[in-house]
A and B are shown apart, each in its own frame.
Chain A
């Protein structure tokens, strides 16, 4: 591995971590699409900043562009407040307009601006190591490493300082406000950090793919944990993994590094989306299936308890009156019998004492809306689950 390769991977990993931290809060606050808006609308800010500074890594440019990002948020919120259009539409109106201005500025000044459309969409990670920071003639490493390193340090400091406030205002904005943490300051603080991060990452991965780095690690982590700390750590981990694996995939295919980083993120998300315990699709399908059967069983037991008439308790009644398919009726009966909740004599179903007790308890929980108690009840009574 050459020095350049290591530097590229290091920059990519730092960018990923810097994006994952604000991303976690944006996903939890249901504001993920705001990052899309910011990442597009900073473009005119970057171009104007470039006219002024002639240096993509200049702090002035970064601040100017980040300001455009914050202005975007303010603009979107102002449009929402007019009530002229619905919430989403405001986002969808603002960022394409600002992005178009940026694209036109670049195209019209192609000779002066060392930025092309490909760089806007993909970034220039591969070239990042060649722009070195020279202090007094000595080489201090790639400039972008310093830029993103600084941004990450600031983000981490803010995160550690305000972790409690951020956590509280994310999960319970009302409580946070009554405790004196202004939700407004936290909101705009987060927006500012996001904007600065997006600008810092823009150089490396471009306008659209920075959105992938912000949203995907956090969303993937959210499917695996409820704990905010773990979620932050996991999303940083996913980000770093995608950065390094993405780099080598790009190397292999001789394709865009940013593109392959987000492809790795996509694959990661897909795997977690399918297989995550609890939140994944497979486990949720399995759970739904089981719940469905167990709810059916409870309906059936309740029905037995409600009706003393033989006709209502006949096995065939399941299909006729409760309106179930044959397969489902059989599975319900099997489950009930396996758990010793019913007996079947001459095709007429009766509750066992255990079944009677279970049904009574379930009923009292149901009418008081204690669904968690039912789960606990099932644990106690069921030898076999659905």
Chain B
């Protein structure tokens, strides 16, 4: 892993020797990974490769057994305002009594800190984010009455409101319709244009070269990480998935 010149800003995310275990069964092993600022990166790997775990470890939701994670050169706890998170859609109870606008407003809570309530300014930002994901007309809809794709857009809007420098997304394309997928990709690209760093857990290998410019292959260990054109090849795919893959050459 060759680091960029040390004179510039620290990388967006720097992971050193990270090992994570659930009930002391290893899920991630000795991961070293540098994610430079401004990339739109996919994390790919088979089921159980530890993709979600990696995201959650960066966010400090899961405590590692060994190693460290730095966000712009500091531990995550000191940088919470610089990172936005889009969890897996299935991780929450969509029958919860709340409406779309409310969920998006939650993105402003971190910036507000303890006790302080959101006001008009926060509401305006939430409405803007809703508009951006094309959900403005659904603002007062109960969240269980939204389709899977719409729920995912709401989650994305919530992250947009956070106005962070880094976006971590756990399978944002899972179970969404084609229109939503296109809409999300456009927003991701737009964010990257404005200099944000995006890390996305992704399943569909076919679309990796089209959607992303950077990729990390993960299967318990970090197998390779870098620009798509350099490392998205059959060799790395085979190493990651353990069977012969002929995807990269087709694209």
Question: Do the two chains touch directly in the complex (Cβ atoms below 8 Å apart)?
Answer: yes
Instruction: Write the nearest CB–CB distance from B204 to chain A, whole angstroms.
Output: 22
Is there a chain B Cβ closer than 8 Å to A170's Cβ? no
Stretch at the interface among B64-72, B84-92, B115-123: B64-72
Q: Are B67 and A302 in contact (CB under 8 A)?
A: no
Q: Are B24 and A291 in contact (CB under 8 A)?
A: yes
Q: Bound state CA distance, A288 and B24, in angstroms?
A: 7
Instruction: Write the nearest CB–CB distance from B12 to chain A, whole angstroms.
Output: 20
Q: Are A303 and B30 in contact (CB under 8 A)?
A: yes
Q: Bound state CA distance, A353 and B107, in angstroms?
A: 53
Q: Bound state CA distance, A306 and B23, in angstroms?
A: 25
Interface of chain A residues 277 through 332 with chain B (CB within 8 A) = 288, 291-292, 295-296, 298-300, 302-303, 306, 321-324
Given A303-B17, A366-B220, A366-B221, CB of A323 within 8 Å of CB of B67: yes
Q: Are B30 and A306 in contact (CB under 8 A)?
A: yes
Specify which of A288, A302, A303, A323 lies most central, judged by the most chain B CB atoms within 10 Å of its CB.
A323
Q: Are B65 and A299 in contact (CB under 8 A)?
A: yes
Instruction: Write the nearest CB–CB distance from B173 to chain A, whole angstroms.
Output: 25
Q: Bound state CA distance, A306 and B25, in angstroms?
A: 21
Interface size bracket, B side: 20 to 34
Q: Are B67 and A295 in contact (CB under 8 A)?
A: no
Q: Are B68 and A323 in contact (CB under 8 A)?
A: yes
Q: Are B220 and A369 in contact (CB under 8 A)?
A: yes
Is there a chain B Cβ closer than 8 Å to A367's Cβ? yes
Is there a chain A Cβ closer than 8 Å to B73's Cβ? no
Chain B residues near A299 (CB-CB < 8 A): 17, 19, 29-30, 65-66
Chain A residues near B24 (CB-CB < 8 A): 288, 291-292, 295
Is there a chain B Cβ closer than 8 Å to A368's Cβ? yes
Chain B residues near A379 (CB-CB < 8 A): none
Interface of chain A residues 200 through 259 with chain B (CB within 8 A) = none
Q: Bound state CA distance, A352 and B52, in angstroms?
A: 35
Interface of chain B residues 18 through 59 with chain A (CB within 8 A) = 19, 21, 23-26, 29-30, 32, 48
Chain A residues near B220 (CB-CB < 8 A): 366-367, 369
| A302 nearest in chain B by CB position | B30
| A301 nearest in chain B by CB position | B30
Is there a chain A Cβ closer than 8 Å to B16's Cβ? yes
Q: Bound state CA distance, A368 and B29, in angstroms?
A: 12
Interface of chain B residues 57 through 101 with chain A (CB within 8 A) = 64-68, 95
Is there a chain B Cβ closer than 8 Å to A112's Cβ? no
Q: Are B66 and A324 in contact (CB under 8 A)?
A: yes
| Candidates B16, B29, B242; contact of A302 at CB < 8 Å | B29
Q: Bound state CA distance, A19 and B204, in angstroms?
A: 52
Is there a chain B Cβ closer than 8 Å to A87's Cβ? no
Given A288-B24, A366-B221, CB of A295 within 8 Å of CB of B19: yes
| A284 nearest in chain B by CB position | B23
Per-position 1/0 for B213-228, Cβ under 8 A of A: 0000001110000000
Interface of chain A residues 360 through 379 with chain B (CB within 8 A) = 363, 366-369, 371
Q: Bound state CA distance, A371 and B220, in angstroms?
A: 12
Instruction: Write the nearest CB–CB distance from B133 to chain A, whole angstroms.
Output: 27
Q: Bound state CA distance, A381 and B81, in angstroms?
A: 47
Chain B residues near A323 (CB-CB < 8 A): 17, 64, 66-68
Q: Are A298 and B26 in contact (CB under 8 A)?
A: yes
Q: Are B66 and A296 in contact (CB under 8 A)?
A: yes
Chain B residues near A322 (CB-CB < 8 A): 17, 66-67
Q: Are B65 and A366 in contact (CB under 8 A)?
A: no
Q: Bound state CA distance, A366 and B26, in angstroms?
A: 8
Q: Bound state CA distance, A288 and B23, in angstroms?
A: 7
Q: Are A368 and B242 in contact (CB under 8 A)?
A: yes
Q: Are A292 and B26 in contact (CB under 8 A)?
A: no
Chain A residues near B16 (CB-CB < 8 A): 321
Given A321-B68, A323-B68, CB of A367 within 8 Å of CB of B219: yes
Q: Bound state CA distance, A341 and B95, in angstroms?
A: 54
Q: Are A371 and B17 in contact (CB under 8 A)?
A: no
Q: Bound state CA distance, A306 and B19, in angstroms?
A: 14
Given A299-B29, A303-B30, A366-B26, CB of A292 within 8 Å of CB of B48: no
Instruction: Write the nearest CB–CB distance from A286 to chain B, whole angstroms.
Output: 12
Q: Bound state CA distance, A324 and B219, in angstroms?
A: 24
| A312 nearest in chain B by CB position | B17
Per-position 1/0 for A335-367, Cβ under 8 A of B: 000000000000000000000000000010011
Q: Are B219 and A371 in contact (CB under 8 A)?
A: no
Instruction: Write the nearest CB–CB distance from B159 to chain A, whole angstroms.
Output: 27
| A287 nearest in chain B by CB position | B24
Q: Bound state CA distance, A366 and B222, in angstroms?
A: 12
| A323 nearest in chain B by CB position | B68
Interface of chain B residues 194 through 251 with chain A (CB within 8 A) = 219-221, 242
Q: Are B30 and A369 in contact (CB under 8 A)?
A: no
Chain A residues near B17 (CB-CB < 8 A): 299, 303, 321-323
Q: Bound state CA distance, A371 and B21, in angstroms?
A: 12
A-B contact pairs, 16 of them (CB 8 A): A292-B24, A295-B19, A296-B65, A296-B66, A299-B19, A302-B29, A321-B17, A322-B67, A323-B64, A324-B66, A363-B221, A366-B221, A367-B219, A367-B242, A369-B48, A371-B25
Q: Apart from A303-B30, A321-B67, what 15 extra A-B contacts exist at CB < 8 Å?
A: A292-B24, A295-B26, A298-B26, A299-B17, A299-B30, A299-B66, A302-B29, A306-B32, A321-B17, A323-B64, A323-B68, A363-B29, A363-B221, A366-B221, A368-B242
List the 4 closest A-B pairs by CB distance, nearest first. Answer: A291-B24, A299-B19, A322-B66, A302-B30
